[in-house]
Amino acid sequence: MRRLFLLVAALCGCADDGLQRRQAYLAQLVGRSELDLVQPMGVPTRSYEAGGIKFLAYDERHTEYIPDGPPSFVPWVYGYDWYGYGIPPEIVQTRCETTFEVTAGRVRSFKLRGNGCG
């Protein structure tokens, strides 16, 4: 858990920049036709239509493996010694769902949800 915190803390600056880049890219698609959306984004993961409004959702999922760390080296009264088994490996999963609202064949807005959008 400690390594996960350090990884997240190290990436915080990059995550904000990545989120801003993603939002800037997606903002270019607002006002375009549904075809202009599907050409660069591909076929949506799922879609839903209600009241003349179509919602197109794209899911991204990533799994990252963080290898284990070495055992801790701690000082003792009479020198140094190895302690414990080290830091166990971790698997971190991220997800980002991008949902576009399409009205009258035009993209009206988008919404991002998840921990992997940046």
Indicate yes or no: pTM above 0.75. Answer: no
Residue 93 in this model has a pLDDT that exceeds 60: yes
pLDDT digits (tens, 9 = 90+) for 71-84: 665 566 565 555 55
Task: Give the pLDDT of residue 88.
Answer: 79
Q: What is the pLDDT of residue 15?
A: 53
List Cβ<8 Å contacts ≥24 apart for 33-37. 33/105, 33/106, 33/107, 34/102, 34/105, 34/106, 34/107, 36/107, 37/100, 37/102, 37/107
Give me the pLDDT at residue 87, please. Answer: 74
Statement: residue 68 has pLDDT above 50? yes
Radius of gyration in angstroms for the set of CA atoms belonging to the chain, rounded to a whole number: 22
pLDDT digits (tens, 9 = 90+) for 14-60: 557 899 999 999 999 999 999 999 999 999 999 999 999 999 999 99
